[in-house]
Amino acid sequence: MSKNRARALIRLGHWGRPLTIAIPYLWLGLFFLLPFVIVLQISLAEPALTQPPYTALWHWVDEGLLEIRINLMNFRMVWDDSLYASALLNSLRVAALSTLLCLLLGYPMAYAIATAPERWRVILLMLIVLPFWTSFLIRVYAWIGILKSQGPLNDLLLALGLIETPLTILHTQTAVYIGILYSYLPFMILPLYANLSRLDWSLLEAAADLGCRPFGAFLRVTLPLSAGGILAGSLLVFIPVVGEFVIPDLLGGPETLMIGKLLWTEFFSNKDWPLAAALAILLLGLLLIPFVLIQRLEQRLGGQP
Amino acid sequence: MILPFVLISLLGIAARAGADPGGTLNLYNWNDYFAEETLAGFQAKTGIRPRLDVYDANEVLEAKLFAGRSGYDLVFPTARPFAARHIQADLYRPLERERLTGLTRLDPAIMSALEDIDPGNRHLVPYLWGTSGLGIDLEKVRGALGDDADLDTWALLFDPDQAAKLASCGISLLDDPSEVFAAALVFLGKDPNRYEAADLESAAALIRAIYPHVRYIHSSQYISDLANGELCVAMGYSGDVAQAQARAEEAGKGVRIDYRLPREGAAVWTDVMAIPRDAPNPDAAHAFIDYILEPAVIAAISNAVYYANPNLEATPLLEEAVRADPGIYPSAEVMTRLFVIAEREDAEIRALNRLWTRLKSNR
């Protein structure tokens, strides 16, 4: 190694650390903290017939006299009106059940891919990722065609003689679950696959040698070792589903009251940006709870990703 | 593999940038609200390249206007309550009326009605107008209610007995609480624009009672569903029901759709053209308004989308089927029964929207 290069490395070492740390912080500050502060500021304003449609939080009354006006009614309204609580609860329930369904369906798929022969794995992974090449919106629209009462699914079931009259699936909660399960399954499979493909399979052989049946070995070896993948996949599904708007709007019926739709109503129909912002802040706070819990859990698991 | 795509799209951008001697006009209009040749005709005439984005709800347009810097030069809101509110919030640019030579062709009655919300007609030019009534599949409804069933009444929707009988062939409501509540209020014999708490509660009770019989609530889905026989009664806009009617005839499956204006009263509304205050190209917007004011242009639009226009000189140019359709141009006698949905306080609108959300989600 030449002297110059060594010196360059030392110099980089000096500035490199703060620089590499600064970049992600800058990113977070610019694309997370700043938007958050803007939304927080709107949530403390009052709606007004101006452009933009809310009041400013402060203005200079006189030289040296700053008037600050903070409105907490939005948070109170969300708290007082049971509509918001029930929409939040329903969103959490839908997200929890969807996550569970994704896990039940995604785990065997990820397991099968991870244990498939090497040359098959690439193809199988491609099949999981390939739908992303089509726009998400178009894929959800496609489900409208599939699920409607004169659609191919009902035609098939009728032809097979499994049903007498077409099932009403579209615009029900069931359609919402189908749409979510379809759209979010890859987000469960991919982290699970990443985890399972690194599993040390000799541990299972050892378990078999010591007389453990395959199912027991799965429960006592594979499952605990893949906890990190399960957590990562569950978070990737749960968090976006809570705020999901497109799928319930297109596939759901009126009884599918989710927080995303309520946000839309407040923002568009009611032109009440402050209340919509307050709802968004509360949603964010609510979603932080599972995050913190899971981080604690991961630490207890020994920092395994 | 990516590089050629990037090159192609760059070339495309370069080509587009070079081909606009007259500049660009950014239009934001309802979906399916121009005739097929409208935009091409404008470009041929003026050399200005029109670019069209579409929306399917006034609320979406409104959110963009209130956020500011929408980038649009001309928008098409419904006059009341939307454009009225936008004028109060000073979102529109005053028109240079001397450049709009065709204004004299517009129906003075419609212009003077617009002065209520836009004194001196300084900001708004009426585009098309229509009504909100009932789209009916004649055969199915008569099958469910009998051959002598009364079809000119909101009772088809709001009488729980009739709604129950029609539930199996399909009922839909517009997803617009002010429209639905106005209809429910006139059905109850109340003033649709007086928002007394007690009246609202009785209208809400009525809607709750028929709610189990409603297949869905949506503001455009009914067009195709009426046409292919998935619905038999839809609360809908006059032109949209007429489009369903035309599609049903094209399909030739024997579905016959009729549009009725209930005798209890129905809402009439006007969509207008307005130039946002921060429009990048207001000159082009004026040119487009003047183009729309040409009788042949607006007549072609009415012929295509089945909504009535306010241009008196365009009337002779309409197709007979459009001009003579009482669903599009109601008779003078029916016109007396129509009402305009007026503006309300923001607090009232919010209360109504929240009540609507509760009703829909059954909470």
pLDDT averaged over 10-residue windows placed end to end, chain B, 363 residues: 43 45 90 95 96 93 94 96 94 96 96 95 97 96 94 96 93 93 96 88 94 89 90 95 94 90 96 97 97 98 96 96 93 93 88 89 73
d(CA B205, CA B160): 11
Containing domain of residue A255, as a range? 82-300
B155 contacts B209 by C-beta, under 8 angstroms: no
pLDDT at residue B21, as a whole number: 56
- Nearest residue in B to A148, CA atom: B230
Q: Tell me, what DSSP letter sits at residue A270?
A: S
Nearest CB partner across the interface for A49, out of B88, B353, B363 = B88
Spell out the domain ranges in chain B.
2-124+274-293, 131-268+339-361
Domain B2-124+274-293, CATH homologous superfamily name and number? Periplasmic binding protein-like II (3.40.190.10)
pLDDT at residue B144, as a whole number: 94
Please name which of A46, A107, A79, A298 lies closest in space to residue B347, comparing C-alpha atoms.
Answer: A46
Confidence band (pLDDT; 50, 70, 90) for A148?
confident
Higher pLDDT, A55 or A293: A55
B31 contacts B55 by C-beta, under 8 angstroms: yes
Q: Would you say residue A281 has pLDDT above 90?
A: yes
- Nearest residue in B to A268, CA atom: B59
The domain tally of chain A equals 1
Residue A77 lies in a domain: no
Query: A268 and B357 in contact by Cβ < 8 A?
Result: no
Ramachandran area for residue B23 (φ above 0: left; ψ -120 to 50: alpha; else beta): left
One-letter amino acid at B321 equals: A
* Model confidence pLDDT, tens digit, residues A165-216: 888 888 889 999 999 999 999 999 999 999 999 998 899 889 989 988 889 8
Residue A71 lies in a domain: no
Query: B357 and A83 in contact by Cβ < 8 A?
Result: yes
- Domains B2-124+274-293 and B131-268+339-361 fall in the same CATH topology: yes
Structure tokens at A165: 């009259």
pLDDT at residue A230, as a whole number: 95
Say which CATH number the domain at A108 has. 1.10.3720.10
pLDDT at residue A106, as a whole number: 97
Residue numbers in B near A253 (CB within 8 A):
216
pLDDT at residue B20, as a whole number: 54
Residue A58 lies in a domain: no
Residue numbers in A near B59 (CB within 8 A):
268-269, 271
Mutating which of B178, B361, B362, B363 best tests the A interface, going by the most A Cβ atoms within 10 A? B361
Q: Is A60 helix (H, G, I), strand (E, B) or coil?
A: strand
CA distance A54 to chain B (A): 10
Nearest CB partner across the interface for A254, out of B57, B346, B361 = B361
Query: B361 and A82 in contact by Cβ < 8 A?
Result: no
Residue A36 lies in a domain: no
One-letter amino acid at A253 equals: G
* Model confidence pLDDT, tens digit, residues A245-270: 999 988 987 778 899 989 999 999 88
Confidence band (pLDDT; 50, 70, 90) for A302?
low
Residue A283 lies in a domain: yes
Fold of B131-268+339-361: D-Maltodextrin-Binding Protein; domain 2 (3.40.190)
d(CA A185, CA B67): 36
d(CA A166, CA A160): 12
Say what the pTM is: 0.84
Dihedral sign (CA A10, A12, A15, A20): negative
Instruction: Work out the mean pLDDT of chain A and round it to a whole number.
Output: 89
Touching check for A257 and chain B: CB below 8 Å?
yes
Residue A16 lies in a domain: no
Q: Would you say residue A294 has pLDDT above 80?
A: no
Q: Would you say residue A94 has pLDDT above 90?
A: yes
Residue numbers in A near B358 (CB within 8 A):
83
Query: Within 10 Å of residue B89's Cβ, how many Cβ atoms?
Result: 17
